[in-house]
Amino acid sequence: MNERAKITPSHLSRRAIVYLRQSSAAQVEHNRESTDRQYALAGKARDLGWPDERIVVIDEDLGLSGSGSAARSGFARLTSEVALAHVGLVLGLEVSRLARNNAEWYRLIDLAGFTDTLIGDADGVYHPAVFNDRLLLGLKGTMSEAELHVLRARLNGGIRNKAARGELRRGLPVGFVWGETDGEVRLHPDEAVVAAIRCVFARFAEMGSARRVWLWFRSEGLKFPLQMHARAEIRWVEASYTAIHHVLRNPVYAGAYVYGRTRQETILDPSGARKKRIRRLPRSEWQVFIREHHTGFIDWRTYEANQQRLAENTRPEPHKSCGAVREGGALLQGFASCGHCGRRLHTHYRGRKSAPGYHCAGKALVEGRGVYCLSVGGVQIDDAVTKAFIAALEPARLTAAVAAAERLEADRETALRQWRLAVERAGYQAQRAERRYRAVDPDNRLVARGLEREWEEALKALEAAKADLARRESERPHVISQQERERLLSLGPDLVSLWNANTTAPRDRKELLRTLIDEVIVKVDRDAFAAHLTLRWKGGALTEIDFALPRSRPATIRTDEDTVALLRRLAVHYPDPVIAGILNRQGRTTAYGHRFDRNRVGNLRRHWKIPGFQEKTQADGELMTIRQAADALSVAPSTIHRLLNDGMIAGEQLTPGAPWRIRLTDELKARFNSETSDDFLPMREAMQALNVSRQTVLQRVKRGELEAVHVMRGKQKGLRIKVLAPQLSLFAHTA
């Protein structure tokens, strides 16, 4: 059937979509002819009768694979337009441009058949609703998918064959470069780069932890080489833990050639979208693994030992020393086991001196409560293990100490060598910047100014590197001479003093213990106050140690008895915050010398089972605070304080520093009136009438000889005194 006969006015009334796709960005950039041919399909749609306004070009999927592994927004847009019957013709250069997997291809054919949509390529126009056309389209889709499989298998086969010979050139880690011959891998020609990588393996052999190696680089201020890809220049940056760990984990540094260590998988996320992930494979599933392929920084045996050490630092196995050495004082951290259940013992620290202890994480139910099957202090256990360890080292005398001093000198020399190489590198950069500056035309000031600035920065970096090197050389420790070495060896076996020296850190003691001891099994008999230790040495030898645990408990630290007694009296009348203020004003402290606060007062009260304060409704005759009394009498608290100081109102204190309390009675309320009779005189008139001082008047009021009230309203607001009879003195003036 003629392809134009399949086109009806219904098709022409809808859109014609030209779909473009190329598999990768490299094809889009370099295969321009294929791209031009696909854009030219718009002219074919125009020849078939579609006007320009109804021709739509979808080219947003350029550079995306059609295998179904990538989400194609353009193809999704095309499918939705076909499903909505907005499209009369779909044009593609060939079927492989539309899709290379049958799932998407047959979905498009089904939708096109339901909505009467035509599909066209370079060979012709097809109607999916017609059996013969649908059969032909299905065969083309199947061949397109098979073609992709064949191409991929052919390319992957060639890559695997070349990798099996160790000749496939892929990205190398920093420290290596490809040689001239096939599969030749050489060490980096930069001596500083090679020295930095060797320093990582040397420090790990000494410290046994990737984190400690990273901290050593940071403490020494050393830079680490970084190379983003094979053609990029080496950049010296701050050492990171990830870079150090990558060097220790990569088998290429052990002289091995590996290929296929990872596998790319496609999964569905919770929303149903496809997502790619990289999964690391075990060594048994690596596609290519060639030992001794090239010269490495370490041998394969050392690499395997390093991997085992890294695994033990993070994933311990039963009955094996595990975990990286930490800073705590517990010597058996990481390789002590419970003698009752076999679990690994955990460490804890208690008391003001942070005394170490060990406990088993396994809990048993005792009277309905979960308790540890073992929990014991670590001081006696660490002392027993230390004595056994020093006894085992006794024949070695001080040779180990001298060797450690020599190792320290070697470490310092390694760090200084890195700084010397940094000075050389900075000098080369300065010379290079100078050559570039002198090679430029002096009249071209735009370029000359930039090169001059780079030269100045390189010179500053060189001076800074020289200053750092000079400072570190001045801080270099004294080298042990031959006479000092012989004098040390003649001192005798003083290992106990060396072990207990302040300069020996807990981390160093733990490292020494792990060199000879594999495991310490701890078993405790609480009824007999005894402990039994089993030391398993390197090589399988066992040592049994029995010792008694202390029966007496440390003296209980208690709060002073008078403070507790005062708390009992205050808790009846005041809440915890007020009590804390009273105790602090009196200079009292807790059992550990801390100031009191609301929480500490509450904890002390609950420990001694002292009931807390409960506020009661106040009535006449009840005790009130100054603020409560001021509210009840409608005066200011300062007025109550003044009357209390003058003796006009009676008050009481439970203890110095405690708040005043006033008993509010009817008699006291009567002294506070809104108005009084003419018999009550102000204080000044009462003083003149009685011919006495103010203090004498207040004393008479306090003794009850004079009656006084406090007027709260009017111009005569204040204290009023009732004078019963005028008492004129001989010195009174007559009218």
* Domains of the chain from N-terminus onward: 3-160 (3.40.50.1390), 177-314 (3.90.1750), 336-397+498-548 (no CATH), 399-492 (1.10.287), 561-607 (no CATH), 624-722 (no CATH)
Mean pLDDT of 500-504: 72
- Inter-residue contact 130 to 97 (CB < 8 Å): no
- Contact present, 111 and 119 (Cβ < 8 Å): no
- Integer Cα distance of 93 and 95 in angstroms: 7
- Per-residue confidence band for 218, with pLDDT thresholds at 50, 70 and 90: confident
Q: What angle do CA 645, 650, 654 make, to 5 degrees?
A: 90
The rounded distance, in Å, linking the Cα atoms of 29 and 63 is: 9
Q: Is 531's pLDDT higher than 60?
A: yes
- All residues at 6 or more sequence positions from 473 whose CB lies less than 8 Å from its CB, including other chains: 416
Model pTM score: 0.49
**354 contact partners, CB below 8 Å, separation of at least 6:** 329
Residues in the chain: 735
The gap from C-alpha 674 to its chain's centroid, in whole angstroms, comes to: 69
Res. 609: pLDDT tops 50:
yes
Cβ-contact 355, 377 below 8 angstroms? yes
- Average pLDDT score over residue span 611-626: 68
Q: Which residues of 223-262 are buried (b: 16+ CB within 10 A; e: fewer)?
A: bbbbbeeeeeeeebeebeeebbbebbebbbbbbbbbbebe
Sequence-ordered alpha helix ranges (H) in 165-190: none
**147 Rama sector, left if φ>0, alpha if ψ -120 to 50, beta otherwise:** alpha
Nearest to 119 by CA among 7, 218, 238: 7
**pLDDT higher than 50, residue 374:** yes
Other C-beta atoms within 10 Å of 582: how many? 22
Smallest CA-to-CA distance from 218 within 252, 247, 246, 243 is with 243
Amino acid at 594: H
**% of the chain residues with pLDDT over 70:** 81
Q: Which of 488, 514, 460 has the alpha carbon at shortest distance from 400?
A: 488
pLDDT category of residue 714 using cuts at 50, 70 and 90? low
Q: Please check the confidence at residue 715 and state whether its pLDDT lies above 60.
A: no
For 395-447, the pLDDT digits (tens) are 554 455 455 555 555 666 666 777 777 788 788 888 888 787 777 777 777 77
Question: What does 26-53 look like in DSSP terms, one character per residue?
Answer: HHHHH-HHHHHHHHTHHHHHHHTT--GG
Quick one: three-class SS letters along 404-451? HHHHHHHHHHHHHHHHHHHHHHHHHHHHHHHHHHHHCCCCCHHHHHHH
What is the Cβ-side half-sphere exposure of residue 589, based on CA atoms within 13 angstroms?
6
pLDDT class of 571 with cuts at 50, 70, 90: confident
What is the predicted pLDDT for the residue at 491? 44
CA–CA gap between residue 59 and residue 70 (Å, rounded): 15
What is the average pLDDT value for the chain, to the nearest integer?
A: 79
How far, CA to CA in Å, does 528 sit from each of 58, 279, 359, 632?
86, 55, 18, 68
pLDDT band at residue 253 using 50, 70 and 90 as cut-offs: very high
Q: Give catalytic residue positions.
A: 23
CA distance 234 to 202: 22
Q: Are 644 and 629 in contact (CB under 8 A)?
A: no
- CA 520 to CA 591: how far, in whole Å? 38
Q: Which tokens in the block code for residue 492?
A: 């005798």
Per-residue pLDDT at 718 exceeds 90 = no
Mean pLDDT of 198-203: 90
In this model, does residue 9 exceed pLDDT 80? yes
CA distance 250 to 201: 12
193 or 449: whose pLDDT is higher? 193
* Burial class of 150 by CB neighbour count within 10 A (0 to 12, 13 to 18, 19+): exposed
pLDDT of residue 401: 47
pLDDT on residue 244: 92
For residue 66, the SS3 value is: coil
For 470-493, write each residue's pLDDT tens digit. Answer: 776 766 554 555 555 555 454 444
pLDDT value of position 623: 73
For residue 618, the model assigns a pLDDT of: 47
Per-residue pLDDT, 251: 92
Cα(212)–Cα(233) distance, rounded to whole angstroms?
A: 28
Q: Which amino acid is at 181?
A: T
Residue 288, pLDDT > 70, answer: yes
Environment class of residue 497 by beta-carbon count within 10 Å: exposed (0-12), middle (13-18) or buried (19+)? Answer: exposed
191: pLDDT strictly greater than 70: yes
Q: 266: pLDDT confidence band, cut at 50, 70 and 90?
A: confident
Averaged pLDDT for residues 669-696: 74
Give the three-class secondary structure for 314.
Answer: helix
- The encoded tokens of residue 607 equal 């420990």
User: 703 or 123: whose pLDDT is higher?
Assistant: 123
Q: What percent of the chain has pLDDT over 90?
A: 8
372: phi then psi, degrees, rounded to nearest 5 = -70, 145
- Residue 648's pLDDT band, with cuts at 50, 70 and 90, is low
Find where tokens 């499989």 sit: 149
